[in-house]
């Protein structure tokens, strides 16, 4: 491997971070952690239940999880789509990992996303367009590499492995 720090995947909900992260981890024989999954297990609540206590409550838990998970070495991390909305998360992840922005066309995301499991989208999946407008520049500005996840998941896997291996 060309480097030994963490591999961090960022991008919109439904962009394929979890699928890609678990494939990459398996291929490189590294530990994988999905931050949303980690939060749900730690808090013993679903993401939707945590949002009921307020988005800022969720964001604080998310920031703590980012600190905890990224303190490990050589772990593949799939983040939640909103992780870039807090500058302190970006700083920690940039310092402790190489960041890959998983860029999937928004029309494809709309076709396949499970909105019910995502509190910011559950009442209106089209909200994803405004979230994308708010976040696109953040993803682009903080990533080390931008990976296109269009028609083929395998091509996205290959793009990431080409950088790492």
Nearest CA among 49, 57, 7, 43 for reference residue 160: 7
Number of Cβ within 10 Å of residue 148's Cβ equals 14
Q: Answer yes or no whether residue 97 interacts with ligand S3P by CB under 6 A.
A: no
Among 118, 142, 147, 157, binds ligand S3P (CB under 6 A): 118
Nearest CA among 152, 139, 163, 160 for reference residue 25: 160
Per the annotation, binding residues for ATP are: 14-19, 118
Stretch that binds ligand S3P, among 22-30, 69-77, 78-86, 140-148 (CB under 6 A): 78-86
Strand partners, 101: 10, 146
Nearest CA among 58, 66, 141 for reference residue 97: 66
Q: Answer yes or no whether residue 82 interacts with ligand S3P by CB under 6 A.
A: yes
Q: Answer yes or no whether residue 59 interacts with ligand S3P by CB under 6 A.
A: no
Distance in Å, CB of 85 to ligand S3P, minimum: 7
Residue numbers of the site for ligand S3P (CB under 6 A)? 13, 36, 47, 80-82, 118-120
């Amino acid at each position: 491997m060309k480097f030994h720090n963490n591999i961090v995947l960022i991008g919109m909900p439904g962009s394929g971070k979890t699928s890609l992260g678990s494939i990459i981890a398996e291929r490189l024989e590294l530990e994988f952690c999905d931050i949303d999954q980690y939060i749900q297990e730690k808090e013993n609540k679903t993401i939707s239940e945590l949002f009921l206590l307020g988005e800022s409550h969720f964001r604080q838990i998310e920031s703590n999880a980012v600190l905890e998970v990224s303190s490990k070495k050589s772990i593949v991390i799939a983040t939640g789509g909103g992780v870039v909305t807090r500058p302190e998360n970006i700083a920690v992840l940039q310092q402790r990992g190489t960041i890959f922005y998983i860029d999937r066309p928004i029309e494809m995301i709309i076709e396949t996303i499970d909105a019910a499991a995502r509190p910011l989208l559950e009442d209106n999946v089209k909200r994803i367009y405004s979230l994308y407008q708010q976040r696109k520049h953040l993803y682009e500005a903080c990533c080390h590499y931008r990976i296109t996840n269009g028609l083929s998941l395998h091509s996205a896997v290959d793009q990431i492995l080409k950088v790492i291996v």
